[in-house]
């Protein structure tokens, strides 16, 4: 168990190494930080930190760098996460508030995160299985064709065409629309099939055929498999980083949707901001990186995750603050969409 002074030395080493990308020596620590002890005492503390695996000597110089174990202790002992400035918060609000649908929200979010953190941003689309129905629209687009639009609480929109063998009156369409919304408003998509199965029985016998056609198309929409979709941005930010492993391995891993889904899926409870450092990442190509991720959603319900991936030499307090803030704003937008 490290005492407070050694923790302070480790914290200073991490901060200086992240800032300069140069191994840190005891003399520079004594000059840059108010540690209250001599360089000789700092050297002794560094020897203990190295012996216990928190720092390492990359070459024969006197400088040390943090190990994955050192970064982990640094993150675990963070007392505060760096807050965004008022200007950054206003910029986030303005940028995200201009989104007009879910695709635009996700696209803006991933670009924004990459710009704020100068890392690779990764955003998972909300899964339909974790969504609920906000509204169903039914409109006639041709004499024998209706358009059904299903809108979820996450802002996702599903459109399907319902073919009819004859024209349908506006009165019938309005009645079906009202019945659908009465049955489905706020209903989870996994529960929606049971909610509408008896709907044809609630209309007149003359209109039962069109009600059955609408329900059939709706059920097909609900039972379709919607694969989880993940987008990323900011891969160019990796060009400025010296990875201990090949940059090619990192880029190849980013191209694999399965890898990204597993990466976000294994970052713990959705509502908790989590950090996976270096060798804690299960994919071999990403063991020179760290991942900061958190869930976003409506209210207390996390519908998906977002986060960033970058080198282990990362500004953890700043990155964690940015990821958490962006997730909160995205949730507010989805709640108000």
Pairing of strands 157-163, 289-298: unpaired
Q: Transcribe 80-106 into DSSP letters.
A: -PPPPPHHHHHHHHHHHHT--SHHHHH
154 and 204 part of one domain:
yes
Q: Which of 126, 142, 143 is nearest to 134 (CA)?
A: 126
- 235 domain residue, yes or no: yes
159 and 212 both lie in a single domain: yes
Alpha-carbon distance of 67 to 47, in angstroms, equals 14
- Does residue 22 sit in the same domain as residue 52? yes
Q: Which of 223, 257, 287 is the last residue of a domain?
A: 223
- If you average pLDDT over residues 168-183, what whole number do you get? 92
Q: Are residues 133 and 62 in the same domain?
A: no
Give the pLDDT of residue 245: 54
* Same-domain check for residues 114 and 203: no
Could you tell me the pLDDT band of residue 292, with boundaries at 50, 70 and 90? very high
Same domain? 266 vs 327: yes
Instruction: Indicate if 232 and 322 belong to the same structural domain.
Output: yes
Same-domain check for residues 283 and 201: no
Task: Indicate whether 113 and 241 sit together in one domain.
Answer: yes
**62-100: per-residue pLDDT in tens?**
789 999 999 999 999 987 788 888 988 898 888 888 887
Q: Which helix (H) or strand (E) holds 55?
A: strand 55-56
pLDDT score recorded for residue 131: 77
Find the CATH number of the domain harbouring 52.
1.10.10.10
**Are residues 122 and 232 part of one domain?**
yes
pLDDT in tens, 152-165: 877 777 888 999 88
Look at residues 36, 55, 76 and tell me which one is the last residue of a structural domain. Answer: 76
User: Parallel, antiparallel, or unpaired: how do β-strands 157-163 and 145-152 relate?
Assistant: antiparallel
Residue 168 within any structural domain of the chain: yes
In a domain, 279, yes or no: yes
Does 137 map to a domain?
yes
- Please check whether residue 81 lies inside any domain of the structure: no
238 located within any domain:
yes
Does one domain contain both 174 and 116?
no
Residues of the domain holding 266? 86-126+228-336
pLDDT at residue 80, rounded to an integer: 79
Q: What pLDDT sits at residue 10?
A: 95
DSSP letters spanning 123-187? EEPPPGGG-BEEEEEEEEEETTEEEEEEEETTS-EEEEEEE-SS---HHHHHHHHHHHHHHHTT-
**Number of structural domains in the chain:** 3
147 and 277 together in one domain: no
* CATH number, position 217: 3.30.390.60
Determine, yes or no, domain membership for 24: yes
Residue whose C-alpha is closest to residue 228's, from 306, 284, 160: 306
What is the per-residue pLDDT for 85?
A: 87
């Amino acid at each position: 168990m490290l005492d407070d002074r050694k923790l302070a030395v480790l914290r200073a080493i991490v901060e200086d190494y992240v800032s300069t990308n140069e191994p840190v020596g005891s003399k520079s620590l004594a000059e840059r930080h108010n540690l209250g002890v001599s360089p000789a005492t700092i050297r002794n503390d560094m020897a203990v930190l190295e012996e216990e695996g928190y720092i390492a000597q990359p070459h024969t110089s006197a400088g040390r760098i943090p190990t994955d174990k050192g970064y982990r202790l640094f993150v675990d002992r963070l007392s505060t996460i760096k807050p965004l400035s008022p200007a950054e918060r206003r910029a986030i609000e303005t940028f995200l508030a201009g989104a007009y649908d879910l695709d635009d929200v996700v696209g803006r979010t991933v670009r924004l995160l990459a710009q704020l953190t100068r890392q690779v941003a990764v955003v998972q689309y909300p899964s339909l299985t974790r969504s609920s129905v906000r509204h169903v629209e039914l409109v006639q687009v041709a004499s024998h064709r209706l358009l059904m639009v299903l809108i979820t609480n996450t802002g996702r929109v599903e459109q399907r065409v319902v073919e009819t063998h004859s024209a349908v009156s506006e009165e019938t369409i309005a009645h079906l629309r009202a019945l659908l919304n009465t049955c489905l408003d706020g209903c989870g998509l996994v529960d929606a099939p049971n909610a509408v199965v008896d709907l044809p029985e609630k209309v007149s016998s003359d209109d039962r055929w069109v009600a059955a056609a609408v329900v059939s198309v709706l059920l097909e929409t609900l039972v379709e498999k919607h694969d989880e979709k993940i987008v990323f941005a900011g891969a160019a930010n990796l060009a400025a980083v010296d990875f201990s492993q090949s940059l090619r391995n990192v880029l190849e891993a980013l191209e694999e949707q399965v890898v990204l889904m597993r990466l976000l899926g294994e970052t713990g409870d959705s509502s908790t901001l989590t950090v996976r450092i270096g060798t804690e990442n299960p994919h071999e190509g990403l063991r020179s990186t760290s991942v900061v991720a958190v869930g976003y959603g409506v209210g207390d319900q996390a519908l998906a995750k977002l986060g960033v991936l970058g080198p282990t030499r990362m500004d953890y307090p700043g990155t964690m603050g940015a990821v958490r803030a962006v997730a909160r704003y995205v949730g507010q937008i989805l709640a108000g969409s």
